[in-house]
Amino acid sequence: MTAEYKVLGDVAVITLANPPVNGLGYATRVGITEGLSKALDDAAVKAIVLTGAGKAFSGGADIKEFGTPKAIQDPNLLSVILALEHSTKPIVAAIHSVCMGGGLELALGCHYRVAAPGTSVALPEVKLGLIPGAGGTQRLPRVLGVETALNMIVSGEPVKSELLASLPGQKLFDKLAASPESLFDEAVEFAKSVAAKGGDLPLVRNLPCKHPQGDAYFQFARNTVGAMSKNYPAPLKCVDAAEAATKRKFDDGMAEERRHFTNLMFTPESVALRHLFMAERAASRIPDVADDTPQRTIKTVGVIGAGTMGGGISMNFLNAGIPVTILETKQEALDRGVATIRKNYEAQVKKGKLKADKYDQRMSLLKTTLSYDDLKDADLIIEAVFEELGVKEKVFGELDRVAKPGAILASNTSTLDVDKIAAFTKRPQDVIGMHFFSPANVMKLLEVVRGAKTGKDVLATVMSVAKKIKKTAVVSGVCDGFIGNRMIEQYSRQAGFLLDEGATPQQVDKAVEKFGFAMGPFRMGDLAGNDIGWAIRKRRSVDFPDMKYSRTADKLCELGRFGQKTGAGWYDYKAGKRDAIPSALVDKMIEEHRKELGITPRKISDDEIVQRLVYALVNEGAHILEDGIASKSGDIDMVYLTGYGFPIWRGGPMHYANQVGLYNVAEAMKRFAKNPRDDASFWQPAPLIQKLVADGKQFG
């Protein structure tokens, strides 16, 4: 049981005690109803206080139970709330810290609510592709008014209790406590006073719920919400449910809410969003690194290289209040790097996203140097110099010379072997990859590359540093391209074959963008610079001479069409503009290439385009799991959702493959293997996929 019961004088106290956030799983719900029964049976008890232990009143439902019989096993949240409403003794919710989702719905079932200032109050179900399912859409409009409540329900965003308490006419809180410390005593006193007063016990369900211009308001809400939530069904259902609160009897409104909630639970969007929620939390757990692994202290950071990545990486730490020293070989490079950082911050100040004093504060944490000796006290040093092993060797040699014992030495390399880099030092246990994505101050993803000798404490420390700088960190083993780029290579290879076989860059991009990717492969190439892939292919043609790929991308680069930076790539660009204009020259180049290969172009469907690109990710992802480069399929999904613009509502490539059915995915792969223009050996379904299909199982 995860709720405690005690009696203080004539007040019974039920305390949710299910750390970390008092989730309302089955055992907690049983705890509440058992406490309630005891209180009702005890003649000495006159009133009841319901509160939460530790860091929350309640963070809401236990999402691990969603979609399982446990979620509806009696007492379920609805029946617990009904039991609270039926209580003959007044129940006061003493709300503090976090009161969200089912937690808020529980509080709304109590007769009274006393809140501590600073409490985060929200109905965040929409972020999981759902609507509140235990009366939130029916009760919140009754205490806050329809518009405020619907704003909260549709956004899912938390609002502070003191702000809500200040709204005129609000009935959410009967009292705002003076401080979090005094909340409990004030709630007990409040309970005593309402018990002494006697009379009918108020219920939120009995409050009126009207909007003076209901029809117009809900039409307006639907238009706005519909336009903003294209790929997600839940937000519009929030509007429907709130409207029902204003037009129907309470119990009928509850039934409508339930209907929407249950239907949404099985939509692919909600399943994907819940997968993302769990995968994000799971990514920070590493199978063989215990949660209590000792960590090193990171108070100061050194960054080597003030280029594109070095500057962005530095900003992450400055934003988190951690001092940074950047090292370069020349003063001009330092000046350029610092000027870019300034420019980025100034743009944020101009847009009102950063206060001027915060900007000054951040810049004051930044130092620059040309001498390695200035890095002797740094706790973490991240290298972001040119992508050449020889340059990395020099840098890590210097770091080995000056860095204090116990300093963590990280490389931002995208493609080089982290174990080789570690071997340039006499302390390979302290070396790790921290692969940021560009722009490093914006992109959420951080691939943490674990070398063969990387210390567990180093890994644990870097994972928690990542959290501090607000990155989603995913651990990858050492291999060419790590998780993300190793997979994208297969995706790009397919994009190239599609051009050879008859597609145009714009057709491929459109199909993939319609699927939901932020950008198709060719627009992406133009943005990132086609020369980067060119250089990698040149290197790989030495390492993997038999690798089959389309030569179109090389031909494009031979024409100097590197992308937006050269004003032309797969598309044409007007000076200073980013709009991709289909290029007749590129079409001709592709046609000539087909002729050279003797290919008669064929019409390729959008479905084939999407399947070949996405299943290429899936097959390589499966090999990555087989090789132990990623420890779980959810990690691969996190990489693609946070670093590669994979559509969030599809849950990442591996989750998407589960949804399609691995049998279907494997069959499609076998079909692609028969295409003489494609790479038959690549399209053999990975052994892991074959095994999962044979066992009737899925990834994860």
Strand partners, 434: 448
Q: Which one, 274 or 435, has the nearer CB to ligand NAD?
A: 435
User: What is the DSSP-derived secondary structure letter of residue 159?
Assistant: E
The distance of Cα 616 from the centroid of its chain, to the nearest Å, equals 23
Query: Is 488 a residue that touches ligand NAD (CB under 6 A)?
Result: no
User: Under the criterion CB under 6 A, does residue 654 sit at the interface with ligand NAD?
Assistant: no
Under the binding rule (CB under 6 A), the answer on residue 386 touching ligand NAD is: yes
Closest CB to ligand NAD among 368 and 490? 368
- The length of the chain is 700
Nearer to ligand NAD, 61 or 395 (CB): 395
Site for ligand NAD in 407-436 (CB under 6 A): 412-414, 435-436
Contact call for residue 371 and ligand NAD (CB under 6 A)? no
Q: Which of 33, 87, 308, 340 binds ligand NAD (CB under 6 A)?
A: 308
Name residues whose C-beta falls within 8 Å of residue 158's C-beta, 6 or more positions apart in sequence: 100, 120, 121, 122, 124
Q: Site size for ligand NAD, by CB under 6 A?
A: 25
**CA dihedral defined by 260, 266, 270, 273, rounded to 10 degrees?**
160
Query: Which residues, 6+ apart, have CB-to-CB distance to 489 below 8 Å?
Result: 481, 536, 620
Minimum distance from CB of 374 to ligand NAD (Å)? Answer: 13
Read off φ and ψ for residue 17, nearest 5 degrees. -140, 70
333 binds ligand NAD (CB under 6 A): yes
Q: Least distance in Å: CB of 418 to ligand NAD? A: 11
**Closest to ligand NAD by CB, 11 or 474:** 474
With a CB cutoff of 8 Å and minimum separation 6, the contacts of 54 are: 17, 19, 20, 22
Least separation in angstroms between residue 348's CB and ligand NAD is 21
Spatial neighbors of 276 by CB under 8 A, at least 6 apart, are: 637, 638, 641, 648, 651, 652
Please name the residue that has the structure tokens 């934003």. Answer: 319
Q: Tell me whether strands 366-369 and 175-176 are parallel, antiparallel or unpaired.
A: unpaired
Contact, 49 vs 13, CB < 8 A? yes
Using CB under 6 A as the binding rule, whether residue 438 contacts ligand NAD is answered as yes
Asked if residues 319 and 441 have their Cβ atoms less than 8 Å apart, the reply is: yes
Tokens for 155?
């956004």
- The residue from 194, 245, 309, 432 that contacts ligand NAD (CB under 6 A) is 309
Does an H or E element contain 120, and which? strand 120-122
Show contacts with ligand NAD in window 39-98 (CB under 6 A). Answer: none
Determine whether 41 is exposed, middle or buried from the number of CB atoms within 10 Å of its CB (0-12, 13-18, 19+). exposed
394 near ligand NAD, rule: CB under 6 A: yes
**């000076």: which residue's tokens?**
575
CB of 317 to ligand NAD, least distance (A): 16
> Is residue 384 a contact residue for ligand NAD (CB under 6 A)?
yes
Interface with ligand NAD, residue 306, by CB under 6 A:
yes
Nearest-approach distance from CB 572 to ligand NAD, in angstroms: 23
CA end-to-end span of the chain: 30
Q: Does 395 bind ligand NAD (CB under 6 A)?
A: yes
Among 391, 479, 527, 610, binds ligand NAD (CB under 6 A): 391
502 binds ligand NAD (CB under 6 A): no
Going across the sheet that includes 47-52, the strands are 3-8, 11-16, 47-52, 91-95, 112-115, 175-176
Name the minimum Å distance from CB 327 to ligand NAD: 6
Cβ-contact 486, 461 below 8 angstroms: no
Residue showing the smallest CB distance to ligand NAD in the complex: 307
Kindly indicate which of the ranges 162-170, 302-310, 315-323, 600-608 contains the residues binding ligand NAD, using the contact rule CB under 6 A: 302-310
Pick 387 or 606: Cβ nearer ligand NAD: 387
The type of residue at 467 is: K
Near ligand NAD by CB under 6 A, which window of 175-183, 323-331, 355-363, 537-545?
A: 323-331
Q: Measured from the CB of residue 182, what is the shortest distance to ligand NAD in angstroms?
A: 50
Q: Is 310 in the site for ligand NAD (CB under 6 A)?
A: yes
Whether residue 498 contacts residue 609, with contact meaning beta carbons closer than 8 Å, is answered with yes
Q: Which of 33, 79, 293, 329 binds ligand NAD (CB under 6 A)?
A: 329
CA dihedral 306, 311, 315, 321 (to 10 degrees): 0
- Of 74-82, 305-313, 487-495, 577-585, which part binds ligand NAD (CB under 6 A)? 305-313
Q: Residue 176: which of 188, 164, 168 has the closest Cα?
A: 164
CB of 413 to ligand NAD, least distance (A): 5
To the nearest whole angstrom, how small is the minimum distance from the Cβ of residue 685 to ligand NAD? 31
Contact between 441 and ligand NAD (CB under 6 A)? no
Q: Print burial letters for 467-485: b (CB count within 10 Å at least 16), e (below 16).
A: eebebbbbbbbbbebbbbb
Judged by CB under 6 A, the residue of 133, 305, 484, 569 near ligand NAD is: 305
Q: In the complex, what is the shortest distance from the CB of residue 579 to ligand NAD, in angstroms, rounded to a whole number?
A: 22
If binding is defined by CB under 6 A, does position 158 make contact with ligand NAD?
no
**CA–CA distance, 652 with 670 (Å, rounded to integer):** 22
Active site residues: 105, 125
246 counts as binding ligand NAD under rule CB under 6 A? no
In DSSP terms, which residues pair with 302 in a beta bridge? 325, 381
Stretch that binds ligand NAD, among 113-121, 299-307, 464-472, 510-518 (CB under 6 A): 299-307
Cβ-based neighbour number of residue 202 at 10 Å: 15
> What residue ranges bind ligand NAD (CB under 6 A)?
304-310, 327-329, 333, 384-387, 391, 394-395, 412-414, 435-438
